[in-house]
Amino acid sequence: MKRRRARELAFKVLFEHLVGGVPLEEAWRHALELEEPSPDPATRAFAERLVEGFLRHRETVDRVLAETIEGWSFSQMNQTDLVLLRLATFEALFEDTPFPPLIEVAVRIAKRYGGEDSGRFVNGVLARLIQRVEAGELKAVPKS
């Protein structure tokens, strides 16, 4: 399974759903139709786990992000960055993914789909989030 590809697929689905207002099933269908080659079952399953996990924990993720991002409201942010940060925050708090690869992939996706400063912004927010976890201010599942 390619986790980077799964994260990118989850990002595309959530972006279309959250920003575009497209029903979730339709967003999945669109994203999968555009994926070449089609993702293997494990990649798709991980992407689904990320999307469903974020949606299940959205209130917590958004609260943590709002506390972590200083000086920005969600409406002021680049929506690409916001969707990506929501996914990465969910994964940081609720999955056993080690922080370094999670940040690396999030920054790559931000650079690919976001604005000129998206990579730097996403990196800074996630670094602050991880500092909060390591300081014991936030709880996160143990990392493998």
pLDDT in tens, 62-113: 999 999 998 888 989 999 999 999 999 999 999 999 999 999 999 999 999 9
Position 83 scores a pLDDT of 97
User: Which residues form the domain of 101?
Assistant: 3-134
Q: 96 in a domain, yes or no?
A: yes
The answer to whether the beta carbons of residues 57 and 95 sit under 8 Å apart is no
Q: 65 in a domain, yes or no?
A: yes
Q: 140 in a domain, yes or no?
A: no
Q: 139 in a domain, yes or no?
A: no
Q: 112 in a domain, yes or no?
A: yes
Q: 48 in a domain, yes or no?
A: yes
Which CATH number do you get for residue 28? 1.10.940.10
Q: 69 in a domain, yes or no?
A: yes
Rounded Cα distance between 113 and 129, Å, is: 22
Judged against a pLDDT cut of 60, whether residue 1 lies above it is answered with no
Position 35 scores a pLDDT of 85
Q: 107 in a domain, yes or no?
A: yes
Judged against a pLDDT cut of 70, whether residue 51 lies above it is answered with yes
Alpha-carbon distance values, 59 to 18, 50, 55, 62, 133 (Å): 14, 15, 8, 5, 18
How many domains does the chain contain in total? 1
Position 123 scores a pLDDT of 97
